């Protein structure tokens, strides 16, 4: 009996182990369900143009059409249309809306004219960057465009800050609009042909307009280093507006691949590369975002630690620089060496269609950041480093219309 009992117990144990192994193998063989990607209202248009699509921040976005380099050059020389509808659009209303924006960002709302926009940042209490954003000042509200990769974190942070603020302000998330960017030296010619008069809009200024019967919010801004415009339009009108521009001979569609190489050449930061919650705007060399009044008066999250860093360069000694090189392109994460010693790391790198060399943004120790400094880049571990040189950012001249004098904008929205 004891033997039979032991045999039965042993058999049950073996069966249990086999079942456990079988279940484990099944889990390994069964692919993990991936969240369904969101699609912009121009998704069908992208597919009809044979765009190569790729996932980005939870969205299915066009990476390229005819090729990244060709789209890059076209943007630098003519005019490209980008779908940037994955980015978040929010508005703040209430009598204390500007005071709230000055609490959660470094923006100087008092110095902004109605209709003006500014690049700004939201900081942690230790001066790390939560996100960079563009805010526009309107007569009834303040609008902001948030990065898609940080939208959830931004909304959570803003909601928490609102609950602690106590003033007359509330936030509205606008999920009813698409965002299209028209970028390139001929963008003003194209826009003026489609909507006469809008090309007179100064850099970083915004206005509302009727374009072929569509209500459009227009700002003169972009992420390429070229002159350009960003147009916010109702989802139902997005494809009609895009097609209106694509009828013009100067305009071609461009994807996120070209948008990235264009912003690297222009020396612009990308969240998750040059900016994150462990990097300050002092390290990123973006202190120009903070006006003298805001530096002195503070009132924004992270003010104290940020000004401590600014006063002592070696408190956080890394600084963002540009590096040019030839040979193998150094991508993000590549080590930067001087005389064999590591002095920094690459955050973004790509071949430059404009300069015909490789360009990279990197963080370098403040003692070695001077332009003309010779460095070596470990483009591939285990291979000979490639020679590089630190240069001033941006790599290419920025083309922008003059910014208006404060208070001079004729139209407020």
- The per-residue pLDDT for range 149-208, each reduced to its tens digit, is 999 999 999 999 999 999 999 999 999 999 999 999 999 999 999 999 999 999 999 999
pTM tops 0.75, yes or no = yes
Summary count for the chain: helices (H), strands (E): 10, 20
What is the spatial distance between Cα 334 and Cα 385, in angstroms, rounded to a whole number? 10
What average pLDDT does the segment 95-103 reach? 98
The strands making up 38-39's β-sheet, listed across from edge to edge, are: 38-39, 59-64, 52-56
- Residue 400: predicted pLDDT: 81
Grouping H, G, I as helix, E, B as strand and the rest as coil, residue 316 is coil
What is the spatial distance between Cα 41 and Cα 144, in angstroms, rounded to a whole number? 21
Neighbours of 316 (CB within 10 A): 17
Let me know: does 79 contact 65? Beta carbons within 8 Å.
no
Q: Which two tokens stand for residue 104?
A: 């959660």
The structure tokens 């000042």 sit at 137
Under the banding of pLDDT at 50, 70 and 90, the label for residue 15 is very low
pLDDT exceeds 60 at position 413: no
pLDDT exceeds 60 at position 19: no
Beta bridge partners of 205: 116
pLDDT exceeds 80 at position 39: yes
Task: For residue range 354-365, list pLDDT tens digits in order.
Answer: 999 999 999 999
Of all residues in the chain, what percent are helix, strand and coil, respectively (each to 5)? 30, 30, 40
Instruction: Round the average pLDDT of the chain to a whole number and report it.
Output: 91
**E-only strand ranges, 199-293:** 206-211, 214-219, 228-234, 251-253
What is the spatial distance between Cα 144 and Cα 402, in angstroms, rounded to a whole number? 22
CA-CA distances (angstroms) from residue 21 to 14, 104, 376? 10, 52, 50
- Residue 401: predicted pLDDT: 73
- Residue 402: predicted pLDDT: 64
- Residue 143: predicted pLDDT: 98
- Residue 403: predicted pLDDT: 56
Let me know: does 171 contact 104? Beta carbons within 8 Å.
no
Least confident range from 15-24, 27-36, 75-84: namely 15-24
What average pLDDT does the segment 22-44 reach? 70
What is the spatial distance between Cα 39 and Cα 6, in angstroms, rounded to a whole number? 60
Beta bridge partners of 177: 234
- Residue 368: predicted pLDDT: 98
- Residue 113: predicted pLDDT: 97
Least confident range from 15-24, 99-108, 307-316, 321-330: namely 15-24
- Residue 22: predicted pLDDT: 42
Task: For residue range 293-342, list pLDDT tens digits in order.
Answer: 999 999 999 999 999 999 999 999 999 999 999 999 999 999 999 999 99
What average pLDDT does the segment 120-142 reach? 98
- Residue 11: predicted pLDDT: 40
The strands making up 129-137's β-sheet, listed across from edge to edge, are: 117-123, 129-137, 142-146, 88-93, 170-173
pLDDT exceeds 60 at position 28: no
What percentage of the chain has pLDDT greater than the value 70? 89
What percentage of the chain has pLDDT greater than the value 90? 87
What is the spatial distance between Cα 72 and Cα 170, in angstroms, rounded to a whole number? 40
- Residue 343: predicted pLDDT: 98
Handedness of CA 367, 369, 373, 376 (dihedral sign): positive
The conformational region for residue 383 under phi > 0 = left, psi -120 to 50 = alpha, else beta, is beta
- Count CA atoms within 13 Å of residue 413 on its CB side: 16
């Amino acid at each position: 009996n004891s033997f039979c009992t032991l045999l039965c117990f042993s058999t049950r144990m073996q069966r249990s182990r086999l079942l456990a192994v079988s279940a484990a193998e099944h889990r390994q063989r069964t692919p993990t369900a991936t969240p369904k990607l969101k699609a912009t209202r121009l998704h069908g248009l992208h597919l009809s143009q044979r765009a190569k699509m790729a996932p980005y921040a939870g969205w299915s976005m066009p990476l390229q059409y005819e090729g990244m380099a060709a789209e890059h050059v076209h943007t630098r020389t003519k005019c490209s249309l980008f779908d940037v509808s994955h980015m978040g659009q929010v508005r703040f209303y209430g009598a204390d809306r500007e005071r709230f924006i000055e609490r959660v960002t470094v923006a100087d709302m008092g110095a902004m004219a109605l209709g003006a926009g500014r690049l700004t940042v939201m900081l942690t209490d230790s001066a790390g960057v939560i996100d960079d954003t563009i805010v526009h000042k309107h007569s009834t509200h303040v609008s902001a465009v948030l990065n898609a990769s940080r939208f959830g974190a931004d909304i959570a942070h803003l909601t928490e800050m609102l609950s602690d603020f106590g003033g007359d302000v509330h936030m509205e998330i606008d999920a009813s609009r698409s965002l299209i960017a028209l970028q390139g030296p001929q963008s003003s010619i194209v826009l003026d042909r489609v909507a006469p008069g809008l090309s007179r809009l100064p850099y970083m200024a915004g206005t509302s307009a009727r374009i072929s019967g569509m209500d459009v919010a227009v700002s003169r801004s972009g992420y390429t280093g070229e002159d350009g415009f960003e147009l916010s339009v109702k989802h139902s009108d997005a494809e009609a507006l895009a097609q209106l521009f694509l009828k013009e001979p100067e305009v071609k569609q461009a994807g996120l691949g070209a948008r990235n190489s264009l912003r690297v050449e222009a020396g612009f930061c990308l969240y998750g590369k040059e900016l994150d919650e462990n990097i300050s705007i002092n390290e990123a060399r973006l202190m120009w975002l903070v006006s003298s009044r805001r530096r002195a008066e503070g009132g924004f999250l992270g003010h104290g630690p940020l000004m401590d860093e600014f006063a002592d360069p070696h408190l956080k000694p890394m600084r963002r620089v540009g590096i040019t090189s030839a040979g193998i392109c150094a991508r993000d994460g590549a080590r930067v060496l001087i005389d064999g010693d590591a002095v920094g790391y690459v955050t973004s790198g790509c071949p430059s269609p404009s300069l015909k060399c490789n360009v990279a943004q990197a963080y370098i120790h403040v003692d070695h950041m001077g332009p003309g400094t010779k460095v070596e880049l470990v483009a591939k571990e285990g291979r000979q480093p490639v020679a590089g040189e630190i240069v001033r950012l941006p790599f290419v001249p920025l083309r922008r219309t003059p910014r208006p004098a404060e208070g001079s904008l004729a139209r407020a929205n």
